[in-house]
Amino acid sequence: MEAIYFYIIKKNIITIINIQKNLNGCKVLKGYELNRKGVWLLVRLEIANFNVEDITFGDETSYQDGTLIINKEEALKVVKEDEHITEADIKIARPGEDKRIVPVKEAIEPRCKADGGAVFPGVTDNVEAVGEGQTLALKGCSVLAVGKHWGSFGDGLIDMSGEGAKYTYFSQLNNICLVADTDEEFERHEQQKKNHALRWAGHRLAKYLATEALEDQEPAEDDIEEFDLEPITKRPAKVNDLPSVVYVMQAQSQMEEMGYNDLVYGWDMNHVVPTLMHPNEILDGAMISGSFMPCSSKWSTYDFQNCPTIKNLYQEHGETINFLGVIMSNLNVNLEEKERSALFVQQIAKSLGADAAILAEEGYGNPDADFIECFKALEEAGVKTVGMTNECTGRDGNSQPLVTLDEAADAIVSCGNVSALIELPPMETVIGELEALARDGLSGGWEDDDELGSSVKEDGSIIMENNSMFCGDQVLGWSPKTMKEF
């Protein structure tokens, strides 16, 4: 066995690749980058985007001239690798179509690694580091995991056109709807469901589509996004002299029973204390969405993969700010746990030398206490903090916006009122089952109300709270909502 080193010069960066050679051939082990000024960089993440303008079914899963072609039979075999999937079909929903999708449980951007590495470590693949190398992405589309019959508290609704389309980012995408049912009878009538088989099938399908469609495809140079950060202690003076900013993400982890919470490298966030993560890990599949949380507040896997706040911080790094990275925090149930997590976040931010922080919470209600506790701890440490969250001000908008407040939390970006009533006309086509909105306790729907009746009307029109809009509040940075003054 011998080590061979290659030196590649591209865009003023010298890449040193160490290849270990043995009887089985050559395998790239690790890359290191050194710019001409002698500053060591982490290996960059490249996301090569292949824009999907349309989706159709055909004999072979492939990508041709902006069209994703899906072999449905082959794709469903991947879905049904889990024997708990009892029924499954794939339907397409395009922007502008007269289609309503409900109950939606998860959204994933189809991706694969150019070198065949892990896409969703701990879920579709073995646990291994992500955040470097080249990732191939089918851009402009998503895989949606949709219940054929049954919904739950954390599921939501997407309208592809009309008034409802403005409430969720996913109305703008070409959606591959995996509509399925499972034999998970133990949770059939539970308000909270893990939806394990269906959500995991969505991730397998997303990986399959990208792997099969993008094999041997070469991306256009203009369609490659690059993300790299120098090690914090190795940055040039001109970067270190800029205001240092850390992004604090409070991912959902309130359920003590495993299977409901967000995952990091396949590990339940309920078992995690606040941890410094490289932003590339989050953009590259390390974070997986859970099934718990009123749906408009939820962060889907697609949201983690495309987090606009992380991308904007990258754009400003070295220009107006020194982006330190992401503190991945958690959300807890009792006060002592909330205080402990806030202290961890405070300590990490202080140790990094953060001047400022952006703080985002996944959810509302009980998590508001984590949000405010963390806000206070950061401000006490001299870290100027801006919060991003939605509000729960009641249907009339007159209630207190967060469960708890503090004078330290004096800069909050509101992503809207989860309780706002929305009335929508019927749609020509329903993908999934509309009755689930009223029958199964979706967080913004109801079976009966003294004044409003059922959320689902006989003609297919609906009345619901914003709560049921799938990932509609978009706290991670792309909410379209604005403030109005009266």
Q: What is the mean pLDDT of residues 113-134?
A: 97
The token pair at 114 is 């150019």
Q: What is the pLDDT of residue 483?
A: 72
For residues 480 and 57, the model is more confident at: 57
Q: What is the pLDDT of residue 22?
A: 34
The backbone torsions φ and ψ at residue 238, rounded to the nearest 5 degrees and listed phi first, read -65, -25
Q: What is the pLDDT of residue 23?
A: 33
For residues 482 and 117, the model is more confident at: 117
Q: What is the mean pLDDT of residues 27-47?
A: 54
Task: Inform me whether the pLDDT recorded for 249 exceeds 60.
Answer: yes
442-484 pLDDT, tens digit each: 999 999 999 999 999 999 999 999 999 999 999 999 887 777 7
**Of the candidates 102, 114, 211, the residue with the CA atom closest to the CA atom of residue 158:** 102
Rg (CA), the chain: 23
Q: What is the pLDDT of residue 141?
A: 98
Per-residue confidence at 29, pLDDT binned at 50, 70, 90? very low
Residue 151 CA to residue 170 CA, distance in Å, equals 19
Please state whether beta strands 40-41 and 13-22 pair in parallel, antiparallel, or not at all (unpaired).
unpaired
Task: Inform me whether the pLDDT recorded for 9 exceeds 50.
Answer: no
- HSE-CB of 142 using CA atoms within 13 angstroms: 22
Q: What is the mean pLDDT of residues 112-136?
A: 97
Task: For the full predicted model, state whether its pTM sits above 0.75.
Answer: yes
| 244 strand-pairing partners | 322
Per-residue confidence at 42, pLDDT binned at 50, 70, 90? low
Please tell me the total number of residues recorded for the chain in this structure. 486
What are the start-end ranges of the H helices in 227-319?
Answer: 237-240, 279-283, 301-305, 308-316
Q: Where are the beta strands (DSSP E) in 12-114?
A: 13-22, 25-35, 40-41, 45-51, 54-57, 62-64, 67-70, 85-93, 99-108, 111-113
For 259-286, letters b (16+ CB in 10 Å) and e give bbbbbbbbbbbbebebeebbbbbbbbbb
Lowest mean pLDDT among 3-12, 93-102, 187-196, 424-433: 3-12
| 268 strand-pairing partners | 263
The token pair at 24 is 């089985």
The token pair at 82 is 């889990």
Q: What is the pLDDT of residue 8?
A: 41
Q: Is 371 in contact with 359 (CB distance < 8 Å)?
A: yes
302-335 pLDDT, tens digit each: 999 999 999 999 999 999 999 999 999 999 999 9
Residue 223 CA to residue 221 CA, distance in Å, equals 5
Lowest mean pLDDT among 24-28, 57-61, 346-350: 24-28
Q: What is the mean pLDDT of residues 203-223?
A: 95
Q: What is the pLDDT of residue 17?
A: 40
Q: What is the pLDDT of residue 36?
A: 41
Residue 303 CA to residue 476 CA, distance in Å, equals 7
Residue 84 CA to residue 180 CA, distance in Å, equals 10
Q: What percent of the chain is modeled with pLDDT above 90? A: 87
Neighbours of 290 (CB within 10 A): 28
- Concatenate the DSSP letters of all residues of 163-226 into one string: GGGGG-GGGGSEEEEEEEEE--GGGTT-SS---HHHHHHHHHHHHHHHHHHSTT----GGGEEE
